[in-house]
Amino acid sequence: MPASGSQIGQIAGTAVPVRGDDIDTDRIVPARYLKEVTFDHMGEYPFMDERFDPQGNPRPHPFSDPKYHGASILLVNANFGCGSSREHAPQALYRFGIRAIVGESFAAIFAGNSLAIGLPTVTVPHENIEKLMAMVEADPTVQLTLDLEEQCINSPGGVIPIQVPDTARNALTQGYWDSAATLAANESKVRQTAARLPYLKGFKS
């Protein structure tokens, strides 16, 4: 994941398209992998049941296609990340190598879990995601640059505006998307506030 408190303004690289509406978190990371104690190996599991059959034989899938190897931007359709609230889904995508997700729409909890690890989720209209997907499918070497400050995607086919909530954009570009790092950086203020609260009198960390 990005260094705690780091500012995320631009993400550049190649992209991988995964077509289909309503791709839920169980498809992104099958439930049997939730038993792992840490997220360390989550990068091995994205779309596992779509990439391999029950016998372990490979199935066609963009995440297994060599032409998309090393892609850092994921292109998706509508309601991506719906279903359960498992934070393993964005963790798996990030640890696979995805650094930003561009789609038509996202489930709110998935978008929140993504923001918490510094993984931007931005939206564009259907016609623009189709344009981006077609461009990348025609030439997987195409370089895209997602600019959160300017709120656009720069591509060989032109500039495409993006939508991202101001709260999320500010958190990413100003570096306070990591709540734990923000809390630690303001330890003195936390202690001053705690000292004024009657129910925390005498509290020791």
CB 93 within 8 A of CB 74: yes
Closest by Cα among 64, 82, 179 to 121: 82
Residue pair 81/103 in contact (Cβ under 8 Å)? The answer is: no
- pTM as predicted: 0.87
The dihedral sign for the CA sequence 193, 199, 202, 205: negative
The angle at the Cα of 123, spanning 118 to 129, to the nearest 5 degrees, equals: 120
Say how far apart CA 28 and CA 100 lie, in whole Å: 15
Containing 13, the helix (H) or strand (E) segment is strand 10-13
Residue ranges and CATH numbers for the domains of the chain are: 10-174 (3.20.19.10), 176-205 (no CATH)
Q: In angstroms, rounded to a whole number, what is the distance separating the alpha carbons of residues 57 and 131?
A: 32
Q: What is the pLDDT along the chain (205 residues), one digit of tens a residue?
A: 665 568 999 999 999 999 999 999 999 999 999 988 889 999 999 999 999 999 999 999 999 999 999 999 999 999 999 998 899 999 999 999 999 999 999 999 999 999 999 999 999 999 999 999 999 999 999 999 999 999 999 999 999 999 999 999 999 999 989 765 555 555 566 566 666 777 766 655 5
Q: CB neighbours (10 Å) of residue 7?
A: 16
Q: What residue type is 53 in one-letter code? A: D
